[in-house]
A and B are shown apart, each in its own frame.
Chain A
């Protein structure tokens, strides 16, 4: 995590994942891949994104991210490893406040 804000973001998102997808909170680490390591399927991920959208007041651009990954323009780790995901959320929040 690159900043205190990201630490707080991580805690919030980890709580969301634990509550929404019934994932053991201890398994949710900054290095965990949301899909591969935490076993979250697409519907649970959709629920998680809804909670993130609500709590952070943003619109997580999942479709754009997925398109970047599928077209080879970005690695999946850039969006779907938890530490990186938190940074992306911080960036979305900062962009909204700018």
Chain B
């Protein structure tokens, strides 16, 4: 993970048409921890949700064979069950609930070992890539995380 660059997914471990499992290693140090919180560094809850959203997004991007981008539109029933500290090795999962026209609803989870740290139902808008630079960046990042 590079929190300040919103690179939340380090490695995709497995995926099929409706599921994706990924690994995310929380860095030991990040400017984010300087403010969140001084003397008690924690991964912000919004970034835990972002990690789940990115796992869900990668699932939708690969389902479309890199023809469509997915953007977070709604977070429902989010539960932040545990505190995530620097150095944590996280498993992030995405499960497709419904693939609609221009949107998808998925279930995301985030766990440290066997301990569930977060979960949420996430709605993503799906659309053709709005810029070639974005498509190129997604394809390049997919190679890094072992998705392509």
Contact = CB atoms under 8 A, between A and B. Distances in A.
Please determine whether chains A and B interact with each other in the same assembly. Answer: yes
Interface of A: 43, 46-47, 49-50, 53-54, 59-64, 66
A59 B74 contact: no
Contacts of B98: 50, 53-54
Contacts of A47: 74, 123
Interface residues of B, number: 11
- Of A49, A50, A61, the most chain B CB neighbours within 10 A belong to A50
B73 A60 contact: no
Contacts, number: 35
Interface residues of A: mostly helix, strand, loop or mixed?
helix
Contacts of B101: 49, 59-64
A69 to B, nearest CB: 13
A43 B100 contact: no
Contact of B100 (A59, A64, A66): A59
Given A43-B74, A50-B105, A63-B102, 10 more contacts: A46-B102, A46-B103, A47-B123, A49-B100, A50-B98, A50-B100, A53-B98, A60-B101, A62-B100, A64-B101
B125 interface: yes
A50 B99 CA distance: 9
A63 B123 CA distance: 16
Interface in B86-136: 98-103, 105, 123, 125
A43 B100 CA distance: 14
